[in-house]
Amino acid sequence: MSKSGFNRRQFLETSGRTVVGGVATTSVAAMIAPGGAWAAGLTTLDEPTADVLLRVCRVMFPHDKLGDDPYRTCVGGLDMKAAKDDALAKQMKDGAAALDNGGRKFLKKDEAAQVKALTAIEDTPFFKTIHGHVIVALYNNPKVWGHFGYEGPSFPLGGYLERGFDDIDWLPEV
Amino acid sequence: MTTFDLTDDTVVVVIGSGAGGGTLSNELAQKGVKVVCLEAGQWLDYTEDFVNDEWTMFGRLTWQDKRTSSGTWQVAKDFPELPAWICKTVGGTTTHWAGVSIRFQEHEFRTKTVYGNIPGANLLDWPLGLNDLAPFYDRAEDKLGVTRTHGIPGLPGNNNFKVMEAGARKLGYKSVHTGYMAINSEPRNGRTSCRQLGFCLQGCRMGAKWSTLHTEIPEAEATSNFELRPNAQVLKIEHSLTGKITAVVYDDGNGNLQRQKARVVCVAGNSIESPRLLLNSASNLFPDGLANSSGQVGQNYMRHTSGAVFGVFEKPVNMYRGTTMAGIIEDEATHDPSRGFVGGYELETVSLGLPFYISFLDPSNWGKEVSWFIDRFDCTAAMSIIGEDMPQMSNRISLHPKHKDQFGLPVPNVHYDDHENDSAMREHAYKQGARIYEAIGAIKVKRAAPLPATHNMGTNRMSAQPQEGVVNKWGQCHDVDNLFVSDGSQFTTGGTENPTLTIVALAIRQAEYLSNQLKKNNI
């Protein structure tokens, strides 16, 4: 599993120069009803496509500790990009449909088979687009940081000088 | 604020406001030399515009104009359009640097002599030695407020350092400490002290880390000899029929071209843009680019042999808390060919927040293995490898034959192949890094590939002989008396050490030389 490519474009997407991408994750999160389906959110992608993308995002970066909401946020971000980019919308729709080829639905496969299906397409533009998006959109979302023990901005709290910058207590004596 | 007329041909024009250009500007202004500093990036207020957010600050600080890459290095695969992580903003890459400030070792100024004939390497002795630079290192350390020099205490060790230190001691390493840092451990010269925020690489929100943005530039502005023009990207350096530099042409940020006349021009745009500017300034008189009779402009690009080692433990580390790079192991920095390579390397702590962690840990990967590491982000320690890489003529900045930038000029291509010495050194460092974490119970260790470099050196190198390099021992171009190079592209070889302190020392030294030459009317 490799070589999906991560380039300057993904950096730029989050840099504040464009509206979509990481910058928009919180607003997308607000748009999509927590724990629910897509009712409140999708503007361009159809629900079957979004359902497949949701699963693709999770298989790409699986975390048992995360519910569906952060992954839905990722799909919401793709939906926002698709709203402004017809080629991307088509790429998502066609790519999701292609995962169902052979008559057996991607969503009905077990996880191992889903991994195998994604491995087979990891060099495609469809896969690379999603990977480049999710690698930023999933982890640049402050709502997931706590699940991984990341505390985010420290300046507003005075840094870590009195908040545990050197509190490690399990190291062997040297 | 002082301003100078575009037609004032008595000024020194400094291109770039980072470690080289910002320091040189201030040193000259303090000596009464009139300076116009042209900075391609915008001015930011560190008390408002610097925030603790990795992606946001990447967007605000980084040089993002189009660049391409080629060669067999991993960066060309993982980050093809981002060959270097350097800045386009007032203060240059001193906004983003980690603050590590180490002198070169004596032998690192004469590697051709000491290392001998290394096939494929274009080694050359510097035209100056540690003795020549020592007094200027002294002044640079004082200026930057480097810890463990001038009686300044070291920074306290954070969690990430304590993990590395414990493992290093177990292995028997002796020189392990919180580094020589241009980050205040106590208030000094109007700069506050570090509050262990983390986010050193995102621009220090405290101003505790030295950056020309809030030190050299305002000091220069306090004289009546200095004008900073932000959003001014220089496109071409012009010369007279006799080959003397007369002016620079720049875009003023509003889409208008301006021509600033100059008595002297000093180029300090970092090791990609500086040679690119010389190459883009080719003329009938200088068909291969300005100051390029040697053919060495753009060649010998060095970026340090780098990489990172992550160690995962059962219990929390929280590496992101506190100073990003205040931790060093110096034992491997020596030249000891018995290890299978020439030159040495340092191991230095490095930390990342979660958003950058995933993007740099394994940027092209996916699936359960990557997720396993991310799930243990809080139990992870990290160190980076920084070692001397070999200068090679084929590692070079060149003008792209097709792609043009927003000004219609050819974009730079950065070509790099690892030398076998680089690969042998990296392999040694990866193994030692893993042993350090395993010695204190790491449950898993991961090697991370080199990132886009913040250390970029060598593309306008110093040489005693004009045919072997671009500038002399003062950074003055061999071919053109009133054209200087004032950044890390002057480096003849890269050394093991993070380059900023040496860039600053060279800039202080160059300011003395240049102001004396101006006084004597030699230029």
The answer to whether A174 contacts B52, with C-beta atoms less than 8 Å apart, is: no
List C-alpha distances in Å: A123 to A79, A116, A171, B4, B125.
22, 13, 43, 55, 46
Chain B CB contacts of A160 below 8 Å:
158, 195-198, 321-322
Window 372-411 of B: residues touching A by CB (8 A cutoff) are: 374-375, 377-379
Share of chain A above pLDDT 90, in %: 72
The tokens describing A84, both together, are 């402004």
Chain A CB contacts of B60 below 8 Å:
15-16
Name the average pLDDT for chain A.
83
pLDDT digits (tens, 9 = 90+) for A11-34: 444 433 332 333 334 444 444 444
Distance CA B179, CA B222 (A): 32
Locate the domains of chain A by residue range. 11-145
Chain B nearest CA to A159, separation (Å): 4
- What 8-state DSSP symbol labels residue B309? E
**pLDDT recorded at residue A28:** 45
The answer to whether B195 contacts A160, with C-beta atoms less than 8 Å apart, is: yes
Question: Which residues of chain B have a pLDDT value below 50?
Answer: none
Which among A160, A162, A167, A169 is the top mutation candidate for probing chain B, defined by the most B β-carbons within 10 Å of its own β-carbon?
A: A160
Among residues B109, B27, B15, B11, the alpha carbon closest in space to that of B504 is found at: B27
HSE-up (13 A, CA, CB side) for residue B467: 0
The answer to whether A22 contacts B355, with C-beta atoms less than 8 Å apart, is: yes
The answer to whether B367 contacts A155, with C-beta atoms less than 8 Å apart, is: no
Give A39's contacts (C-beta < 8 A, 6+ positions apart).
A33
pLDDT digits (tens, 9 = 90+) for B93-118: 999 999 999 999 999 999 999 999 99
Chain B residue at shortest CA distance from A9: B81
pLDDT above 50 for A139? yes
**pLDDT recorded at residue A2:** 37
List C-alpha distances in Å: B119 to B108, B390, B393, B424, B468.
18, 10, 12, 14, 17
**pLDDT recorded at residue B361:** 86
- pLDDT confidence band for A104 (50 / 70 / 90): confident
Chain A CB contacts of B369 below 8 Å:
1
The answer to whether A160 contacts B196, with C-beta atoms less than 8 Å apart, is: yes
Chain A nearest CA to B78, separation (Å): 6
**pLDDT recorded at residue B360:** 83
Helix (H) / strand (E) element for B145: namely none
The answer to whether residues B328 and B347 touch, using CB atoms and an 8 Å cutoff, is yes
The answer to whether B59 contacts A154, with C-beta atoms less than 8 Å apart, is: no
**pLDDT recorded at residue B362:** 86
**pTM of the prediction?**
0.94
pLDDT above 80 for A102? no
Chain A nearest CA to B436, separation (Å): 13
- A131-141: buried (b, 16+ CB within 10 Å) or exposed (e) per residue? bbbbbbbbbbb
Distance CA B430, CA B437 (A): 11
**pLDDT recorded at residue A36:** 57
- pLDDT confidence band for A40 (50 / 70 / 90): low
Chain A nearest CA to B53, separation (Å): 7
Chain A nearest CA to B72, separation (Å): 15
The answer to whether A5 contacts B159, with C-beta atoms less than 8 Å apart, is: no
Window 266-295 of B: residues touching A by CB (8 A cutoff) are: none
**pLDDT recorded at residue A20:** 31
Chain centre distance of CA A99: 18
Window 195-224 of B: residues touching A by CB (8 A cutoff) are: 195-199, 205-206
